[in-house]
Chain A
Amino acid sequence: MTELMAWLIAAAQALLLALLAPVVMGVTKTVRARLEGRASGRVGQPWRDLRKLLRKPPTSPTDSGIFFTAAPPMLMATSLIVAATAPFITTVGVAGSADLIVVVGVLLLGTVALTLAGLDTGTAFGGMGSSREMTIAALVEPTLLLSVFALSARVGSTNLGAIVNAGNADPEAVFTPASLLAFAALAIATLAETARIPVDNPSTHLELTMVHEAMILEYSGRDLALIEWASAMRLTILLGLLANLFAPWGIATTISLAWVVAGAGFFIVKVLGLAAVLAAGEVFVAKLRLFRVPELLAGSFALALLAVLASYVLA
């Protein structure tokens, strides 16, 4: 019985994340608008954009092939799988079973699908965006895995559920310098992965500065909807992971319905809080030149390496 229950919770978790993602984007836009003195639109605006785009017909360039049409569903599939298996609401059963290295790999698979689609369009912008995205993804990988190393060294396993449970068990283990450094490194890596301000400006119109946007210039209609939705989900996933790995309180550790609902509530609050902090941070920072980004990532890599060394020296 609990097997079926676990699968159901995983599905529910994926659905929750899918519904929550556009709201998270809405919150970031609203907070940002408010700080810039603008009267921002309602938080539900991204939902309206998605609904309208879903109704519009997709177009694909004449020379593109299967890679162009398959990229949006692949990007969404990778986001759904990570949403279903990572511990956001509960750490029990399927929902908490994902391994951090697998999560990093699956997210990278989504990025690769998009970069190949960028190249398949045959346009200069598509190639440029894809080349830059791959360069940044290649440099983010060491940071992600080293911060994983720092976290797993403390707990002894890279299983997400185990890490979150360990954080739940003794809260003060979360505040050791090792995990704080790991949090900083992972935060910078998140900004790079989800193409936020210091690395890439999501709301730019000047194609030459784009990284993520340049690859999806050719998409329209429901393809574009899927990509926007999946990118929003990736942001929510990474913010959720940041929240649960470093502030694991309130996550359900048993399968009882009450706990799960409470876990969901806590999760939503944490993610929206983090999104607001992210948006506020973005107002104060300008986009870095592309060849300054490796320095940023080298810095975060150094943080992650310090985290690992600290976890040995102190732990």
Chain B
Amino acid sequence: MSDGLSAQLLNLCCGLFLLTAVGVLWRRQVSSLITLLTVQGLMLTGIATLLAAQHRNAEAVGIAIGIGALKAAIIPWMLRRVHNQVPDARETRPLVNVSASLLAAAGLTLLAYAAARPLVALAPSASAHATPVGIAVVLLGFFLAATRQRAISQIIGVLLIDNGIAAVAFLATGGVPLIVELGVSADLALAVLVLQILTSRLHETFGPTDLDELRELHD
């Protein structure tokens, strides 16, 4: 694993990582969203393992494997279960049409790069140049959550944000202490679990989990 190869692999993972995020914005079917999410989980694991290998830090490898398991396996599995229980979640009816979303995605990525410049200047390691990708994915996740109507797309938005933050953490600092990672992961798992129960309960009581109908609850 010469340095040049690992650097190229790292760039590949980051590239795919960003691409999957844009894909999530692009696709409408929920099932394709879940597969994109799984791919992104794998890419994140790739980044983690590559960086761990670079720093020859055993603990970081453990973390990478943990993340991989969580992001690529457990969460997609949970999402699939929700997806199967809620038949009408086929179509994520977006508030903002797809082309506008993609333009917004581009704008957000540019903003991420501009905002990350001081961060990149500071960071010691070479891999830090890729940190803007993490920030971009966070912004995209946020955008997804804000503009999609289905409850399940909120969950996916949150997951994207979490992947983005983890990516930033790995790229900028070259590895996150175990405790922090455990904490974050536990939170994430819990969040998804709760959202999953919420969505199924919503479905049982109200039928379509279209969030706009939920407005009547408010008044």
Determine direct contact between A and B, CB below 8 Å: no
Q: Which of A's residues lie within 8 Å of B, judged by CB? A: none
